[in-house]
A and B are shown apart, each in its own frame.
Chain A
Amino acid sequence: MTVDTKPGPDVAHLRRPARVRLAWLLLVLAVLTLVMLASVAFGSRAVGWSDITAALAGTDDTLNQAAVVKRIPRTILAALVGAALALSGAAMQGVTRNPLADPGILGVNMGAMLAIAVGMTTVGLYTATAYIWAAIAGAALSSLFVYAVGSLGRAGPTPLKIALAGAATSAALASLVVAVVLPRGDIAENFQSWQVGGVGGATWDSIGHVLPFLAAGLAICLLCARALNSLALGDDMAAALGERVAVIRGIAALGAVVLCGAATAVAGPIAFVGLIVPHLCRLLVGLDHRWLLPFATLVGAALLTAADVVGRVVNRPDEIEAGIITALIGAPFFIYIVRRQKVREL
């Protein structure tokens, strides 16, 4: 990686004045609020406004109100999972300096899934917290593996090699998940959300279990923001600026792994949120991780909530899992990024 002494046109283009960032922040907050309201208001059952306001105030006397009450935890979980995945993706892109990094593409989500599946079938894990720990362990192992495979060879970890290693690992792990789950009819029944990812099964309980992990991951990643800025200049430059490169990498990666592991444990493997959102946010607020990471968190929450709403509304009364929607909009974006990059940079 070469470091230009003066910022090139791209960098200048991506530097944003504070006023612009604040304006974007307000807009993103407004969008998030709207999307979350929409998520409560729209669903497979059409409900009037009076019922929605009554349900938000806490009553669930009629069927409609009860339906709305059930949408509230789902909305919150969608927002939490989306936020976690987007922040995780942003941190991974920062740590690996790889524009294609995403928990789904790198196979990290599938590692989490396999760990849960193995834990359920062999050790007999059954508590939500145990799933989350297993998922985090699986995510950590698979991300280490992908990084190791992708960084062999002279050029080190290039985005192309890491993306290929991730895709291969993901395919391998997906087959293993099927192989592990298939003999167990009781687990296989719930396989749909396991295989494609979605927030349909949200309860207040699951939110309560996953919240501490997400909070920890969020804190770790946000605290690394300044160090990630140094890392973006290249390892040598970061070391010259007094950062301990390996330590930062490790801590930020840990935060990212905790976030996506915990998110996968409650929602299944949802891909592409962690890819799209950081790229989008870089266009809005620039390259500074101190702005980028919180922004990615908010935008990720809005994106996954919106995907969940779309999945519920498009095909009433059937629901489409949010993971399908994100893949359908995320994959073209992935292709766009691949096309935009010059081949030798990949």
Chain B
Amino acid sequence: MTSTTLDAVTRGRVRRTRRRRAVLATLGVAVAAMATVSLMVGQTFYPPGDVLRVILGETVPGASFTVGELRLPRTVLALATGLCFGMGGVTFQTMMRNPLASPDIIGISSAASAAAAFAIIVLGLGETGVSIFAIVAALGVAVIIYVLSFKDGVAGTRLVLIGIGIAAMLNSATSYILNQAGQWDLQAATRWLNGSLNGSTWDETIPVLIALLTFGPVLLAQARNLTMLQLGDDTAAALGTRLERTRLVSIVAAVGLIAFATSATGPIAFVAFLAGPIAARLAGPGGSLLLPAGLVGALLVLVADFLGQFAFDTRFPVGVITGVLGAPYLIYLLVRTNRAGGSL
């Protein structure tokens, strides 16, 4: 009797682990393939061999500049911001146990974006200064949202609504900053309100990579504790998770990822929101969603940027594409949750 139960449990665990590994591998391959495609395709097509040689540092006439200086930073930035948004988003969603509590809906991305726009356009700071500005502002706004929604405990619904209000205000602030600098043009506006990869350079890409390599491992180290938090505070505490420490470390790391990515590309709409739920669907129950969500985020940004560049007559910034794709999913999520009678 006991042995069969044990067998069933073991089999289930093995099955889930296998599925998880398969999903991670598939996502990884898809991301790599999409990145390669985005390096090859453009006004001139370069075969994979040329691309590989450029990446390995050889000089290939034509390809060295086009691929090495134009496409490579863009692709790497797309990859890095996708990972940042995906991992940062799913951290918030897991901690709040609410898919709507993602940083791009509750105004944390808007804060980073407004601060970055201010630092670049008004103060004229360089990349480091901009990133520091963005992360300080985003952390500050995270604290403000938490304090404002605290009233006999933090209710998820109140936090989301207050976040929506904050986001509206910060988006206006961004418009104000662009307006005040007399720099209103559609390119700048879409970058800081919707997110765009146009004109990516290595100077913008490197801080994002550094953030990813610093905060990413910190979050991954918290993966187990974050999964515990999903069970509820009491259960998590009973299972030995140090709640406050886990929350503090995870929030700082997630905000760091979001802020650095946003200061390079603007808040690419809905990637942070979408990556978590999609990853949860793919990977199934059990296990941390951090890595799957990061990969889904990277895939989303790469695919959306590719579509935005080549699928239409006009070149759309990546944020417009993810906005148009992501919003129906948000509405679908609301419809499904409302139908089920659950409270968001």
Contacts and interface: CB of A to CB of B under 8 A. Distances in A.
A271 B168 contact: yes
A152 interface: yes
B194 A331 contact: no
Contacts of B182: 318
A336 B184 CA distance: 31
**Interface SS of A by simple majority:** helix
Contacts of A169: 327, 331
B172 A324 contact: yes
Interface stretch (A5-13, A40-48, A129-137, A175-183): A175-183
A332 B165 contact: yes
Contacts of A339: 148-149, 151, 158, 162
A315 B334 CA distance: 41
A168 B337 CA distance: 14
A164 interface: yes
A160 B156 CA distance: 11
Nearest to B168: A331
A182 B316 contact: yes
Nearest to A171: B327
Interface residues of A, number: 49
Interface stretch (A190-198, A201-209, A225-233): A190-198
B160 A328 contact: no
B172 A172 contact: no
Size category of the binding interface on chain B: 35 or more
Nearest to B175: A196
A124 interface: no
Contacts of B270: 171
Contacts of A183: 312-314
A191 B326 CA distance: 23
B327 A172 contact: yes
Given A171-B323, A320-B179, A339-B151, A164 B334 contact: yes
Contacts of A37: none
Nearest to B144: A335
Interface string A322-345: 011001101110110011000100
B164 A152 contact: no
B10 interface: no
Contacts of B162: 335, 338-339
A124 to B, nearest CB: 18
Nearest to B178: A192
B158 A178 contact: no
Which of A150, A173, A323, A343 has most B Cβ within 10 Å? A343
Contact of A175 (B157, B169, B320): B320
B338 A192 contact: no
Interface in B300-339: 312-314, 316, 319-321, 323-324, 326-328, 330-331, 334-335, 337-339
A344 B340 CA distance: 18
A191 B175 CA distance: 12
A171 B186 contact: no
B337 to A, nearest CB: 8
B54 interface: no
A150 B175 contact: no
B173 interface: yes
Interface of B: 100, 105, 148-149, 151, 155, 157-158, 160-162, 164-166, 168-169, 171-173, 175-176, 179-180, 182, 184, 186, 189-190, 193-194, 269-270, 312-314, 316, 319-321, 323-324, 326-328, 330-331, 334-335, 337-341, 343-344
Given A150-B334, A161-B334, A272-B168, 16 more contacts: A152-B339, A164-B100, A164-B344, A168-B331, A168-B334, A172-B330, A173-B327, A179-B321, A182-B190, A188-B186, A191-B186, A318-B180, A324-B175, A338-B165, A339-B162, A343-B158
Interface of A: 100, 149-150, 152-155, 160-161, 163-165, 167-169, 171-176, 178-179, 182-183, 188, 191-192, 195-196, 271-272, 315, 318, 320-321, 323-324, 327-328, 330-332, 334-335, 338-339, 343, 346
- The 4 A-B pairs with the shortest beta carbon distances in the complex, nearest first, are A175-B323, A172-B327, A331-B169, A327-B172
